[in-house]
Structure 1
Amino acid sequence: MNEYFKLVNFEVRRFSKLFLTLIVAVTVVQIIGAFMTSFNFMERVETTMAQKQLGESEYVLEYGAYNFQNFIFSEYFILSIVFAATILVIYVFFIWYRDWLGKSSFIYRLLMLPTARRNIYFAKLTAILLFVLCLVGVQIALIEVVQQIIHGIIPDQLRVDQSKAYIYSFDVLSFLYPKTPLLFILLYGLGATVVAVVFTAILFERSYHLKGILLGAIYIIISILVIAIPVIIQDITGYLYLNEIIGLTAVTSILTLGVALYLADYLLKRKINV
């Protein structure tokens, strides 16, 4: 177990500088977005009020007040989320292929460590999950910062202050922050399963090379179909309730994760030689 934690620490430190850069980039873009959407709104308000001789209350009745959706659906917020997600998806592949790249493949040094090879796999998977959860936590803090910026620029009379529950019910945020602990575990557990499947597909490619690309692709397709069995059954029959779909998805995800871990352990032990 101690070796596993050392490997996790090692993987986190390898990506830490780029990850901090990613956090800074997302933070800067969203803060700029908060200022820009607020200033643009106030500019439109002042121009319209001057042209039509309206008071603040009259403007709100005719054109509506600023609400947090103005920021959530802006390109600043959406693109920052897409950018962060894209970087992490790329890193899911890079975390493995980096170790094989270069004149002296670092993966062989890892495989020769006095620890079970599966710990390398688990450490990389854990590192990805930690990065995702860290970004999710940073986003919570950013929402609070953005709200304070908006409140400082737009007067009370010209904005609608929405509850936390309402803000986190928006599509993007409800996906990042599920409403219940069970949904949180299911959603992020499903995400971990998908990452594990991709990791195992990469090991297929590393083990069998050209043939491994085909094997990895077939494996990913089968895994997706297994996870999607409840949705497929619902589409065909229409008999399942939402709770049943969630429960069956949890079962198929656990099954898929178990197979991914077993295959990865087998490939690391038997097919990847030092």
Structure 2
Amino acid sequence: MNEYLKLVNFEIKRFSKLFLTLIVMVIVAQVIGAFLTSFSYMNRVETTMAQKLLGESQYVHEYGAYNLQEFLFSGYFILSIMFAASILIIYVFFIWYRDWLGKSSFIYRLLMLPTARRNIYFAKLTTILLFVLCLVGIQIALLEVVQLIIHGIIPDQLRADSSKAYIYSFDILSFLYPKTPLLFALLYGLGATVVAVVFTAILFERSYHLKGIFLGVIYLVISIIVMAIPVIIQDITGYLYLNEIIGLTAVTSILTLGVALYLADYLLKRKINV
């Protein structure tokens, strides 16, 4: 366990500067977006009220009040989320291939450490999950900052403040923050399974090279089909209840994760030589 934690700490330090830069970029994009969408709304309000001689209550009655959706559906928010997700997806591959790059491949130094090789795999997987959860947590705090900015610019009479439950029911936020602990565990467990499957596919390629690409693709396709079994059954029969879909998804995800971990352990022990 101690060696595993050291490897996790090592992986986090290797990506920390880029990750901090990513966080700063997301914060800056969303804070600027909060200011610009708020000022844009106020400019529209002032122009329309001056042209049509409307009061604030009349404007709200005819055109509607400012809602947080205006920010959440703006490019500042959506593109910042997509950019952060894209960087983390790229890092899922880079966290392995970086170790093989260069004249003196660093992966061989890792494999020679006095610890089980599977700890290297688990450390990289844990690092990715920690970064994802960290970004998700930061986004919660950032939404509070965004709302403070909006409240400071747009008067109460022109705002339609929403409850937390309503705000987090929007499509992209309901995906990042599932309503129940069970759905949270299922969604992020499914995400961890996908990352584990990709890691194992990479190890197939690293173990068998050109043939490994073919094997990795086949493995990916089979894993995706297994994880999609609940959806396939529902599309064919249409008889499954939500709880049954959740249960089947949990079973297929655990099965897929178990196979991914077993194959990764086998490849690291038997097929990747120092």
TM-score, normalised via structure 1 length: 1.00
Q: CA deviation at 1:85?
A: 0.1
Q: CA deviation at 1:119?
A: 0.1
C-alpha distance in structure 2 between counterparts of 1:81 and 1:217, whole Å: 28
Instruction: Tell me the residue number matched to 2:271.
Output: 271
Structure 2 unaligned regions, length at least 5: none
- Within-5 A mapping of 1:112-261: 112-261=112-261
Instruction: Tell me the residue number matched to 1:56.
Output: 56
Q: Secondary structure at the match of 2:162?
A: coil
C-alpha distance in structure 1 between counterparts of 2:102 and 2:190, whole Å: 33
C-alpha distance in structure 1 between counterparts of 2:139 and 2:6, whole Å: 28
Instruction: Tell me the residue number matched to 2:9.
Output: 9
C-alpha distance in structure 2 between counterparts of 1:260 and 1:197, whole Å: 6
Residue-by-residue CA offset, 1:34-69 (whole Å, 9 max, x unaligned): 000000000000000000000000000110000000
Instruction: Tell me the residue number matched to 2:40.
Output: 40
Aligned residues: 274
Instruction: Tell me the residue number matched to 1:82.
Output: 82
Structure 1 unaligned regions, length at least 5: none
C-alpha distance in structure 1 between counterparts of 2:172 and 2:247, whole Å: 23
**Percent of paired sites with the same residue:** 87
C-alpha distance in structure 1 between counterparts of 2:54 and 2:8, whole Å: 60
Q: CA deviation at 1:239?
A: 1.2
TM-score, normalised via structure 2 length: 1.00
C-alpha distance in structure 1 between counterparts of 2:264 and 2:195, whole Å: 12
Q: Secondary structure at the match of 1:44?
A: helix
Instruction: Tell me the residue number matched to 1:66.
Output: 66
Letter in 1 for 2:193: T
Instruction: Tell me the residue number matched to 1:104.
Output: 104
- RMSD, matched Cα: 0.3
Residue-by-residue CA offset, 1:194-222 (whole Å, 9 max, x unaligned): 00000000000000000000100010000
C-alpha distance in structure 2 between counterparts of 1:45 and 1:199, whole Å: 52
C-alpha distance in structure 1 between counterparts of 2:88 and 2:138, whole Å: 15
C-alpha distance in structure 2 between counterparts of 1:155 and 1:230, whole Å: 48
C-alpha distance in structure 1 between counterparts of 2:140 and 2:76, whole Å: 16
C-alpha distance in structure 2 between counterparts of 1:153 and 1:253, whole Å: 46
C-alpha distance in structure 2 between counterparts of 1:214 and 1:73, whole Å: 40
Displaced runs of 4 or more, over 4 A: none
Q: Secondary structure at the match of 2:109?
A: helix
Q: Secondary structure at the match of 1:116?
A: coil
Q: Secondary structure at the match of 1:114?
A: coil
Q: CA deviation at 1:245?
A: 0.4
Q: CA deviation at 1:142?
A: 0.3
Residue-by-residue CA offset, 1:141-171 (whole Å, 9 max, x unaligned): 0000000000000000001010000000000
Q: Secondary structure at the match of 2:151?
A: helix
